Structure 1
Amino acid sequence: MTVGVLAHLFGAMPYEQIAPKVASFGFRHVQLALWKAVSDIDFSKPGALSPGLAQAIGESFHKHGVSISVLGCYLHLFDRREEQRRENIERFKELLRYARFFGAPIVAAETGTYPPGTYTDEDWSVMRSTLEELAEEAEKWGVFVGMEAANGHLIGTAKELDRMLREVPSPNIGVVLDPGNLLHEGNIDSQDKVIEEAFSLLGGRVIACHAKDRIQEPDGTVITAAPGYGKMNYKLYMELLEQMKPHVHIIMEEAKPEQMPQSKSYIETIRRQAAEKAALLR
């Protein structure tokens, strides 16, 4: 039930230095975004990976007791510039092909954004085609595409992600659930309903989770904070998670290194209590 962390929260560094840093904070797994976390290899274009390189990076983590639970892929998946979109898709597919050499079962992403109110039916159609292509590649290699809904993105709600999963019904597409990404100024006052709806619609497809926190400022603005530093209902989040997906990986976001020990302890304490409660109900 340990909590992992985004590797790039420690900054970019040579890949052999990442795992010792992560392990020194007590984390046993990470979400690794190569082009955000690794400084000594250029991953800005497709083509850099090989089985040898992926194994070398994976082994550099494993020897320090750290696994790579998720490969992060921060790319715009329905970019309206066709050439750029094709490059982004090829970068994602390269991660899917080599994921097993890292020891990672999931390659995860959000959809990408344009200004609010500008999304079109064509954008949705392009995203669906992209996901179909990525799912086909994932099925070849026995790994998962992890899709995350995030406010402001084309897929910004649990309902929208549920719709996309119904339109692309591949068993190799799963959900990376982050309730913090679903909360905003318009729904923060009914956050329990938002969290419950997310689990009702998506709980059975969850393959990994993210953990951040949310705070509503006096002027009504909702900002992001490290776990335990805000007002998100983690008790509800962890109880629903333990009921539906016990032992699923949780990856911490947003925290600065000096906040990580407290945030890690906060999540693990609430999760342990939720697991004990869930065990009594089984």
Structure 2
Amino acid sequence: MKIGVRAHDYGKMEIEDLAELLQKEGYQAAQLALPKAFKGIEQYGDITLKHLDRIRKSFEEHQIEIPVFGCYMDLGNPDEEIRTNAVETLKMCLAYSKEVGAKVVGTETAYPHLTKEEKQIWYPFMMDSIKRVVEEAQKLDAKLAIEPVYWHPLENVEAVLDVFSQVQDSEHLRLIFDASNLLEYPEDTNQELYWSQWLDKIGGYIEVMHIKDFCLDDNRGYVPARLGEGVIEYDTIIQWLRNHKPDMYLLREEMNPKSAGEDIAFMKKF
């Protein structure tokens, strides 16, 4: 397994400085959301070929792979203008991902926390957007990776299987698996069974895993935690990785630089 990090958790830096820092910290890989990670890039429209060339060269020099080119868009929004912008931005980033050698372009399927009724309304819009972006991925021989989140239209195993059934192209459409985004009721969930059900059914589509942990405050609010100190029970996930995907990218999200060493050590146990 290859241990990586969401790069902008270290703040916004010059391209070369960030690549050097990640190598010194001990990472093998990074998820890059360019407007969040690099100085001089405020939005995706600011990206130039010079930026992409610098990124590719710097990250190759420091032996940091780029499994995910982050471009999280509001794919299911019923507002046609918002949705069109999301699709076009993702198409642009698919081309950019080829330039920097990224494995996939990663996105969730919405921005806001949706109600049950809203998820149903947004779902067909999400599906249409995914199909449009995958068409571009096929032309470029690039990959789109979608990330399930329980408060988004792509909320559960059934939704994931439906998307892959409709798209019928698991070469150009992949999955980012983030356990923390799928565990709505940790206090009432048999996690051994829950993660087994997820991984047995959709494991073959997973390209990357996000690794994070959290606790709930008195109001059931989300509070990031060090790995192993929150509610996520990783034993079942670890065993699945060892048996089925020993070469998986593990990308730490919500990392606190002060405790990066402990988190890296935790992931090395995988």
The TM-score normalised by the length of structure 1 is: 0.88
Runs (5+) with no aligned partner, structure 2: none
Deviation at 1:58, TM superposition (A): 1.3
**Where in structure 2 are the equivalents of 1:198-237 lying within 5 Å?**
198-217=198-217, 223-237=223-237
How far apart are the structure 1 equivalents of 2:169 and 2:142?
12
Deviations 1:20-64 (A, max 9, x none): 12112111110001121112123x253x44444312211111112
Deviations 1:199-257 (A, max 9, x none): 01110111111101133556666643232222322221111122222201110111200
How far apart are the structure 1 equivalents of 2:216 and 2:44?
39
Deviations 1:152-180 (A, max 9, x none): 11112222222222122222111111112
Larger mean Cα displacement after TM superposition, 6-15 or 163-172: 163-172
> Residue 215 of structure 2 contacts residue 224 of structure 2 at CA under 8 Å; is this kept in 1?
yes
SS at match of 2:189: helix
Deviation at 1:80, TM superposition (A): 2.3
Give the structure 1 partner of residue 95 of structure 2.
Answer: 97
How far apart are the structure 2 equivalents of 1:36 and 1:26?
21
How far apart are the structure 2 equivalents of 1:223 and 1:162?
30
Deviation at 1:196, TM superposition (A): 0.9
**For residues 70 and 220 of structure 1, do their structure 2 counterparts lie closer, same or farther at Cα, with a shift above 3 Å needed?**
closer
Give the structure 2 partner of residue 128 of structure 1.
Answer: 127
Larger mean Cα displacement after TM superposition, 105-114 or 2-11: 105-114
SS at match of 2:109: coil
SS at match of 2:247: coil
**Where in structure 2 are the equivalents of 1:49-88 lying within 5 Å?**
49-88=47-86
- Structure with the greater relative contact order (CA < 8 A, sep ≥ 6): 1 or 2? 2
Runs (5+) with no aligned partner, structure 1: 272-282
Give the structure 1 partner of residue 268 of structure 2.
Answer: 268
SS at match of 1:166: helix
Identity of aligned residues (%): 25
SS at match of 2:83: helix
**For residues 158 and 94 of structure 1, do their structure 2 counterparts lie closer, same or farther at Cα, with a shift above 3 Å needed?**
same
Give the structure 2 partner of residue 241 of structure 1.
Answer: 241
Deviation at 1:143, TM superposition (A): 1.7
Q: What is the letter of the counterpart of residue 91 of structure 1?
A: T
> Residue 75 of structure 2 contacts residue 86 of structure 2 at CA under 8 Å; is this kept in 1?
yes
Q: How many residues are paired up?
A: 268
The TM-score normalised by the length of structure 2 is: 0.91
> Residue 185 of structure 1 contacts residue 221 of structure 1 at CA under 8 Å; is this kept in 2?
no
How far apart are the structure 2 equivalents of 1:179 and 1:124?
21
**For residues 4 and 60 of structure 1, do their structure 2 counterparts lie closer, same or farther at Cα, with a shift above 3 Å needed?**
same
How far apart are the structure 2 equivalents of 1:218 and 1:192?
25
Give the structure 1 partner of residue 153 of structure 2.
Answer: 154
> Residue 41 of structure 2 contacts residue 47 of structure 2 at CA under 8 Å; is this kept in 1?
no
How far apart are the structure 1 equivalents of 2:217 and 2:50?
49
**Where in structure 2 are the equivalents of 1:4-23 lying within 5 Å?**
4-23=4-23
How far apart are the structure 2 equivalents of 1:124 and 1:99?
26
SS at match of 1:3: strand
Supply the RMSD in Å over aligned alpha carbons.
Answer: 2.0
How far apart are the structure 2 equivalents of 1:195 and 1:223?
21
How far apart are the structure 1 equivalents of 2:219 and 2:127?
37
